[in-house]
Amino acid sequence: QRYVVAAIRRRSDTSSQRDVVAARAALLQKAQDEENLMRRLATMAAASHALRLGPVALRPAQIALETPLSVVVRDLRPVLPGHVVVAPKRPVERYADLTEEEGDDLAVAIRRAQQLTPAADAFNVALKDGTSAGQPVAHVHAHVVPRVKGDLANNDEIYGLIDGWTPLDACGAPVTLDVPDDAARKPRSAEDMAAEAARYRRRGEPFPEPADVTFGPFAVDASQVFFESGTCRALVNLKPLVEGHVLVVPKAVVPTLGEMDEELHRDLWRAARRVHAMITEEYGATGANVAVQDGIA
């Protein structure tokens, strides 16, 4: 009996010691986790303080959200309520200078920026690339402007508002795009459009002649297609605003960016970047505008 009691006590003592050791280990782990969390928060705060848009140092309160390589900035001279600016964290001057990872991440950040205002009827997304296109600072950025029905007396006013935007008065006078009236833009002949597409096609990878090409409800002649990816294509424009004004669209009819799955959304922006490079090379352009009219307001 004494042996049994002693054995039970030894087991009980050993169990108590293990409990004490486990409790101490748990406390140490908790303290370590808290220290790691504080370090991460400090790093994030420091990164937020270090973020800039060109010459503008961004305040932490202006950071609406971050992705690994991009930042969404609010309250930076918005032209309409909810207007945010999306930029890569790395201060890259031109759209073509982004790495593929940065370009993909910028597209993700634009998508998430739109999700900040789910009640919007539509969005204007605009990227002015290069000083000749009106880029006010040497740092790539896109505007995401939520729209609601009746917010402007004339919907086209939004283009002037974005053209006139600068983050600082010191950025100088804006460069505006001289857009002709719609009545002055006459439809072009099928022959002219096919010839233009053939010029651009020489700058890209060859692809089989597409079938059943559409743009919304409209059938498009295959000769007007000059670029194809897995899910998207580029078309010449029936009534271009300026020479080189082209369209990049998904092959499937999808009404808005928000209705695209992630793969299609990524491929659309990759296609836009490739077409942007083709067109600027074709014309020796020092700037270009990339714009999406997303939805109807």
Please name the helix (run of DSSP H) or strand (run of DSSP E) that holds residue 164, with its range, or none: none
Mapped onto helix, strand or coil, the DSSP state of residue 128 is: strand
Alpha carbon distance, N-terminus to C-terminus of the chain: 89
Distance CA 103, CA 116 (A): 20
Catalytic residue of the set 83, 139, 141, 265:
141
Is there a contact between 110 and 90 (Cβ–Cβ < 8 Å)? Answer: no
Distance CA 190, CA 179 (A): 23
Q: What angle do CA 261, 266, 268 make, to 5 degrees?
A: 95
Please choose, from the candidates 183, 235, 188, 226, the residue with its C-alpha nearest in 3D space to the C-alpha of residue 207. 226
Distance CA 254, CA 294 (A): 11
Check if 139 is active-site: no
List, in sequence order, the alpha helices (H) in 51-116.
100-114
Amino acid identity for residue 199 in this structure? R
Compute φ and ψ for 203, nearest 5 degrees: -90, -5
Using the CB atoms, write b or e for 71-92: b if 16+ within 10 Å.
bbbbebebbbebbbbbbbbeeb
Which residues partner with 146 through β-bridges? 123
Q: What residues are annotated to the active site?
A: 141
